[in-house]
Structure 1
């Protein structure tokens, strides 16, 4: 391992034109490295970057003059890149990414990390993100690690060792934060509608957004909950602190909250530092059906951009505007179906910002989750149970939770396609 000061780092000596480059996603992004990477981009013109989620301002449209961008979708600040066409989305399940890296379908010639300082055994924590990065490391020619003094040492499935790092860059910079999304009465109504589906000893998977935050906010009175999720934020920390989450009855990983990433504030990062009740694991564990099927009472809660009247879910794009991603939705929905006592919920507001219905007769974007996988759909107007229901039963149930002012139109459109018997 070579140590180089940040102001002396010449990435042109390490990155080649045409290389595939991976950064840790979201709050784990190595900000000093990403800023230097785009500043020096002309030296390795044609290099490509693969993204998960993004919350920084490091990458912009003008950087496409020398760089190529791909990723799982337009999550966070990547939406502008995706919707402009500068970022080419790769439709894939989170559980598939490690395999795509091993097959070099997604290339990882250079890996850019932000890690903790080593512990007393010389082990570096992956910091806030340990999803598919070890698999990327195994493929990489060069591993550049920003060793950040302010990065917490978060327990992980397998720490990073010095001999696995090509170049270490010491830094002292606060990592990115993702404050909890604000929520109001609308989100509380959605959360209230699904409250009965989340009982004591449930094992939770939650995503990002105001609806998941509202749901997590109402669970403080539950007992002996567990968490097994692709990501956790401050709301999970609060449930652990108040005693609602004990992880005692998950069926696996007793006493430990398992996640792939931490997306939150410095309060969460301080809480996670050397905390044996938290473990960051790769996507091959957090999202694989062989793991999820062993969980007890696994409750998967995901969101959607729109749902059609037969139960098909679009969580990716509206027309040409790429907003989300396939992500882990299908992985966790199928995992909940395989879990003893499991249930999967797709929760969304019934109306868009312009008053349009998000329950639609035809999707305006791709099918992210097939109707055959969907279990429960919830809006502020109620809950539609779809598992095992016929098409006509589904249509009636989904119209009942659509905005009242759109129900007659949806019923008329359904009759045109499915007949008068609705």
Structure 2
């Protein structure tokens, strides 16, 4: 490992035009290195960045003058790139990213990391994000690490050593934070409808957003819950501290909350510091159906942009606006169907900010999850159980959880397709 100062870091010595570049996503982004990377971009014009989620302002549409951006979708601050058509979305399940990296379909010539200072054994923690970066490192020509004194040393499946790092710079900078999404009465009503589906000893997977936060806040009275998820936030700490989450009955990883990334605030980062009750794993463990199917009572809760009357889910785009991603939704929905006692829930408000129905007769974007995979859909008006139901049964169930002012129109539109006896 070659140690350099940040001011002297000349990335043109390491990055070539056309290289595929991987940054850790979300809160794990190496902010200081990213700033240098953008400043020096003309020196490696045509470099291709693959991006997961983004919560910083590092990458802007004007940077497409020399950089090429692709990624899983317009999540967080990357929506600006997507709206400007500067981000080329790759529709893929999270579980497929590591295979795509191994096969070279997604190039990872250069990997930019943010890691913790080493422990007493000389091991560097991947800090806040593990997910697919280990696989990217295995394919990389160069690994550049920002060793940040403010990054917690978090247990992971395989820490880094100096031999894994080509070039390193040392920084002392607060990492990105993602505060819990605020929620109100509407989200609480959705959580209340879902509550009966989440019993004691359930193993939880939840995504980002106000509805998942409302659900997590309602579970403090549960006992012996487990967590196996692609991400966790501050709400996981709350449930662990109050004793609701013990991870004792998941069927694997006893006593350990498993995640791929930490997307939260200093509350989460301080709690995760050298805490053996939290361990970060790659997506081949957090999202692989063969692993997930071994979990007991696996409850997967995800969101959607819209749901059509037959149960098809769109979680990616409205028209040409990419504001979401395929993500891990299908991975988790299919896994819950195989889990003993498992259930998968897609939860969303019945209407958008403009009052338009999110239960629709025809999707305005792509089909993220096929109707054959969908189990339960929930809004503030109730729960629709779809698994094993016929098309007409699905229409009736979904109309009942749509906003009342849209139900008559939705039924009329359904009858045009399925007949008068809907």
Which category describes the TM-score, using the shorter chain as reference length? over 0.9
**Residue matched to 1:236:** 236
**Residue matched to 2:395:** 395
Cα distance in structure 1, aligned partners of 2:351 and 2:223: 33
**Residue matched to 1:280:** 280
- Normalised TM-score (structure 2): 1.00
Runs of 4+ in 1 over 4 A off after TM superposition: none
SS of residue in 2 equivalent to 1:229: coil
**Residue matched to 2:194:** 194
Cα distance in structure 1, aligned partners of 2:207 and 2:81: 22
1:287-298 maps to which residues of 2 (within 5 A)?
287-298=287-298
**Residue matched to 2:23:** 23
**Residue matched to 2:70:** 70
SS of residue in 1 equivalent to 2:408: helix
1:269-418 maps to which residues of 2 (within 5 A)?
269-418=269-418
Shift of 1:80: 1.1
Query: CA-to-partner distance for each residue in 1:146-197, whole Å, 9 max, x for gaps?
Result: 0000000000000011101000111100100000000000000000000000
1:107-118 maps to which residues of 2 (within 5 A)?
107-118=107-118
**Residue matched to 1:259:** 259
**Residue matched to 2:223:** 223
Shift of 1:82: 1.0
Cα distance in structure 1, aligned partners of 2:235 and 2:188: 15
Aligned-residue Cα RMSD (Å) equals 0.4
**Residue matched to 2:203:** 203
Query: CA-to-partner distance for each residue in 1:318-349, whole Å, 9 max, x for gaps?
Result: 00000000000000000100100000000000
SS of residue in 1 equivalent to 2:336: helix
Shift of 1:85: 1.0
Gaps of 5+ in 2: none
Aligned residues: 422
**Residue matched to 2:132:** 132
Cα distance in structure 2, aligned partners of 1:309 and 1:4: 58
- Normalised TM-score (structure 1): 1.00
Shift of 1:267: 1.1
Cα distance in structure 2, aligned partners of 1:76 and 1:193: 28
1:4-43 maps to which residues of 2 (within 5 A)?
4-43=4-43
Cα distance in structure 1, aligned partners of 2:181 and 2:6: 33
Cα distance in structure 1, aligned partners of 2:33 and 2:193: 44
SS of residue in 2 equivalent to 1:160: coil
Gaps of 5+ in 1: none
